[in-house]
Copies of this chain bind each other. A is one copy, B any other.
C-alpha cells in the first residue's frame, strides 16, 4: 500500500516517477487543494478530486488513504516552504540589525511579505493554499488545533522579535495584535471578491500590492497604539 508513510517518502520517489508523464500524485494534491480551498473539506468529494485530477478515485486512496489524510497532505505540503521563507525573512532582518533598534513594522513585513510574494508569483496553487489556510483558520471545530500544529513555531518567532523590538510591551498585547494581524491578512489573501463588489471595483481583491502597502501601515500603527495605551 503506497499510502503508508514509509513508502510515501522520498527514497522511492525517483523510482516511482515515470520519466515523462505528469506526476499524478502532485496532480491529485493540486486538484484537492483547489477544491478544498473553495468549498471546504466536507464540500468536496473524492470523486470530484479524481475528476479534476483526471484519475480514478481508487488511486487517491492508494496514494493517500482516507479523505482526511488527503486533506492533511494538502495542508502540510506548502507549510514547510512558507514557514521556511518566513523564518528566513525574520532571521535576515535580525541579522542585519544586531546592534541597533528593531523596527516593529519591519518585523511585520518579514512576516507578511513571504505570503504576499508567494501569492504574487501567480502560481494558482499558492492562492488556493492561502484560501485553504484562511478557511481552516476560521474553522472552530478543528481549525485552531490544525493551525497551531503547523504554524505556531513561526508565530512564536514573530512574537519574540516583536518583544525584542518593543521591550516595554505587555506580553498579552503582542498576542492579541497577532490575532488581529492574521485575521486581516488571511481575509485579504482569500481574495473573496467582496471588497471589489462593495467598493464598486475601486478596490481589487487581486491587487496584493495595494493590500501589502496598507497592511504594513495598518498593522504597524495598530501595534504601536495597542502597546502604548495602558489597557
Contacts and interface: CB of A to CB of B under 8 A. Distances in A.
Contacts of A41: 43
Contact of A214 (B148, B180, B214): B180
A198 B138 contact: no
Interface of A: 37-43, 131, 134-135, 137-141, 143-145, 147-148, 152, 155, 171-173, 175-188, 190-195, 197-199, 202-203, 210-211, 213-215, 217-226, 229, 231
A112 B153 CA distance: 31
Contact of A171 (B43, B178, B202, B217): B202
Contacts of A182: 187
12 contacts: A40-B42, A42-B42, A43-B141, A134-B138, A140-B190, A140-B191, A177-B214, A179-B203, A180-B218, A183-B184, A221-B225, A221-B226
A84 to B, nearest CB: 20
Copies of this chain, whole number:
2
Contacts of A222: 217-219, 221-222
Nearest to A229: B217
Contact of A183 (B43, B147, B187, B191): B187
Contacts of A179: 184, 187-188, 194-195, 203
Contacts of A148: 194, 197-198
Contact of A39 (B42, B173, B217): B42
A133 B227 CA distance: 29
Given A42-B43, A148-B194, A184-B184, A225 B220 contact: yes
A226 B231 contact: no
A86 to B, nearest CB: 15
Given A138-B137, A138-B192, A217-B225, A203 B172 contact: yes
Contacts of A177: 214, 218
A214 B155 CA distance: 19
A231 B214 contact: yes
B218 A144 contact: no
